[in-house]
Each structure stands twice: as C-alpha cells, then as structure tokens.
A and B are shown apart, each in its own frame.
Chain A
Amino acid sequence: MSSTDGTAPPTAPPDGPRDEKLELGPVGHLGDRLFAGMARGSGVLVVAIVAFVGIFLLALAIPALANNESSFLFSRIWEPGANPPQFGIAALFYTTVISSIIAMAIAVPIAVGVALFTTYYAPKRLAAPVAHAIDLLAAVPSIIYGLWGILFFAPILRPVIDGLGSALGWIPLFQKSVTDNVGVVFTASVVLAIMILPVVTAISREIFAQTPVAHREGALALGSTRWEMIRMAVLPYGRSGVVSASMLGLGRALGETVAVLIILSVPNGNDPWTSSIFAGGETFASKIANNAAEFDSPDKTGAYIAAGLVLFVVTFLVNSAARLIVARSGPGGKRPRRIKRIGDKPQSEGATL
C-alpha cells in the first residue's frame, strides 16, 4: 500500500521516510532546476490566468461603467449604444439565476436517483455501461441540445407549461405570458437540467460508492431494507458531496451559452418586463453571445464585458462555495478521514468533471 493520495501532511510517517525526504539527487543539478522551474511556472501560470481573467475584464468594464447613466446593478434597461449609454443587469441576473435554479431543482433529485441506481440497484455487470451511458449526455455539444430543445422538446413541453400556467397562474412566477412563444425560460431550464445531469450524477456516484462497507452492512444487519440502508447510511454519508455536486451543476447552468441562446426567445423592446418563467428572456451568456456583432465601440463592448464580469464573479462564488463544502466536510459530514484500507479503490475517471 502506498500513501499516494497527495493531500497527506508533509510529515514523514514513522514507518519510513517518504519522497520528500528522498531527494538524493545532486542539489543544483541543472536539469532538475530547469524542470522544477518549468513545473512551478505552469502552476504559477494557472493562477495568473485566473487572475488575468478577472483583471482584464474589470479593466475594460470600468470605463464603460463610468459612462453608464443607469444603475448597473438595479436597472433593467440595456442600451449600451445609446447616448449617454444606459445599461443594467437586473433582468439578465434574474433570468440567469432563476433558470439555473429551476434546472438544479429538476436535475438534482433525478441525478441522485441515477447515482443510487448505478451504485446500489443496477446489476453489477450493468452498472459500468449504465454509468457510461449517462456520461455520454455530457458529450453531446450544447448547440445540439439547443436545437433539439427548441425544435423537438419545446412542443412536447407546451401542454405542461399551459397546464401549470392555468393552475398556478396567480403566482407571478408562473404567470401566463402575454405573447405566445415557445422559447420560454422554463423550457430552457428543463434542457439545462438535462445538461447538468451527468455532472451531478458523476460526483454523487463517486461519493455514494465510497460509503463505508461497515455502515452499509451494519444497517443491513439490523434488518434494514435496501431503501432504509440507503436512507440511513448512504444518503447521510453523501449529503455534502451531493450539495457540492449540485453547486457545480448550478455553476454549469449559470454559464451555459448556446443552448440557452437558441431556446430563449428575446423579448421585444416594448414588452413589459415579467418575472414569469413562462415568458422569454435573456441570460448573461445568451445576451453576450447574441450581440457579439455589436462589439464595435469601447462603451458597448465594455457593457458586455461588465456583464461577463458579473457572470464570472457569480460562477466563481458558486464554484468556490462548492469546493469549500467539499473541503470543510468530507463525506459523512465529518472531517475527511485519511485512513485508507488495502483494497480501497482509487477514484475513477469521473472525478475530473
């Protein structure tokens, strides 16, 4: 057994020195210094890239924001080309967040179900192919999701939207739209849910599979049914993992561009703004992509870059929160345990999602 999990503290275990202590090569060897420098440089480069993304977007957004006549955070007007330019992200922010949250609400229960199916219900021989089939969903390019979503899926979803609209229409969120269009936020959300399903499934699957055998067999030995075993042993153990998987899925949904761009119908300029999910709209990403041809003056470009910056910050926060949840509480809601038993399987390739 080798302690290769990389996160172990650098203190040498008592049974023998590990690799840090074993650098017996000549100190100052040119090849070594060069290679170590290159490796370190790549690490620094990664940090620099993320920093540069933030810095460059900010630097180009600031002049446009300074010229902005409207409240950037609270205005729903988007006219960066006007004189003076007026733009605010309130409407974009609302559509982006509401569509992603609905997508998450739809995707997570199903993803947990699929993950449980592949780990504890599917016959052993079927489990791997089944898991790969779901992973293939992640391989379908988003533009194809968009086309399929608007042409084939939206018509099917129509009766659902009409039904929900008449039943719950008194809630502003579910208000029936004035204009009769197919590309509504709800449709985009369902398609987004399908797109983030493989992400959430893959991570949940990893966590569920790591539930200690002792917990599972303990539950079964006490006479639990399979469902009770899952409810009492597997789900509590995997809770934090599922939460962080959902956040990662949410991050994906927030930034998804082309599928949303194709599905959502852009509201007319003179339509009144509506909070309903049964109306069209624009997200940050779809707005930027839709108007790529408009990037001609610094002010206009700056407005879109400012929108992009907000999207970057939002996804940054969501993803950081997801990672922090994982780091804070390992599986089982406790501090991660570093004891590895012989025969513990290494994480499979799904972990890199």
Chain B
Amino acid sequence: MSAALDGGPVLQVRGLTVRAERRTLLDRIDLDFPARSLTAVIGASGCGKTTFVRTLNRMVELTPGLTVSGSIRYHGQDIYDRGVDPVLVRRRIGMVFQRPTVFPMSVFENAAFGLRVAHEPEAEIDRSVTDALARAGLWDEVKDELDRPALALSGGQQQRLCIARALAVHPSVLLLDEPTSALDPIATQRVETTMRHLKEELVLILVTHNVGQAARVSDRVAFLSAGRLIEQGPTAEMLERPRDPLTQQFVSGRFA
C-alpha cells in the first residue's frame, strides 16, 4: 500500500546528511511533506536550502564530490535505493530554478520537452502541453504564439513556461528553488498566484529567502541554519510564535 493513500506524507526525509569533502552541508534532516501542501524552506544564504531541495530529486548527483546519506521516501520508496532510476525520479519530482532556464526552441517545444524525452504519444503531448500552460497561468498570453522562440518571452513569462514544462509530465511533487528571485514584483505576484493554485493538487516545496513570500503562499515553513533543520511547523505559528531564538531572529529581522 502506498503511504500517501493512507494519508501519510508523499515525501518523507529521514536523517538526510550531505557531505562535501571537508564540510557537512546538511546534517541529519528529518522532514515530512504531506499531500496537497506548500512547504517553504527558508534560511539565510548558504544555509543549505538549495542543496536540500536538490537532494529531493537526486539533482544533487550532478554536482561531483557530494555524498548523500539517510533516506528520502517517495510514497514509501527510498529514491536513493539501488535500482531506482534517477531519471524516473525526476519525472515524478519536477524542478524549477532561480533563473528562467528556457531552451532555444519554440514555446510549445519547451513545454513539451519532458514529454518528448519520455516518448509520450503526440496526442498526449498536445493535451498535456495545453493543460500545463493553463495551470502555469501562461496559456492566455501565449496561446497564439506557441511557435515563437521561447527566448523572446519576458523573464516572468519564461519562468512560468519553466513551471509549465515541469507540470507537463504530471509530477506529484514540484521543487521551486527561489523561482522569483530574478523577477520583478508583478511577475513575482503572478508566479505566487500560480503556486497557490498548484498546491491544491500537488506537493510544492519552495525555497525562498523571502519571509514575506513564505507568509503569502505557504502552509508550512521549515527553517534551516548552517545545514540543520532548526524548526518547522504551520506557517502562522512559525512566523508569529517561533520557539527557537535563531528562527525568531531570522523571521523578525526580515519583518522589521
């Protein structure tokens, strides 16, 4: 039986430790991500929050020299088990990066990329791309220019296109690594609206250094400092009544 069907967490992180040659980047992290939720991972620059989300779909393996230990269970299956294909993991657990990373091809082909590399049939691609562009809140803006080069879109549109590209393969989890850090306030607002819609259907994990953003969109907050999970809980509780002095400092410093 899958853990999620029992109401258990979709992703369950236990004792997650990441080491570089000399330093420990993440130190024994335990964290659960329930279905249909948006968890914001906050912390200062260099605290390990980007490394953390990169372990959740094995992207961390693209950086040579890091060793991962502990376990990350997706519906109960440890994604680091031998015999688990990292490519298939990434098709279930999608990712959006700090800066828009569109490929030099048309808007449509960008959104279809994940489906093409998974060899989905043509009819399915058409349907999923349209659906993904709509869910990313981009369809109305690009429906008449699907054949235009994606690089001609604005930065905010490019970022929503990247979200659509990740959504098109129907992932159950979407990792967002500071997706609005390169965007202006209006584009940021649009992406935040998109995130609020998406958390109704899938697990969103948002890395941000912006406490305000965490307050606006997240259900739960996890605070990292120097590679350790200091505190986690429902957003309101975490931002208004943090128990740990480190959390208090970080949260109030940003609100002051």
Specify whether A and B are partners: no
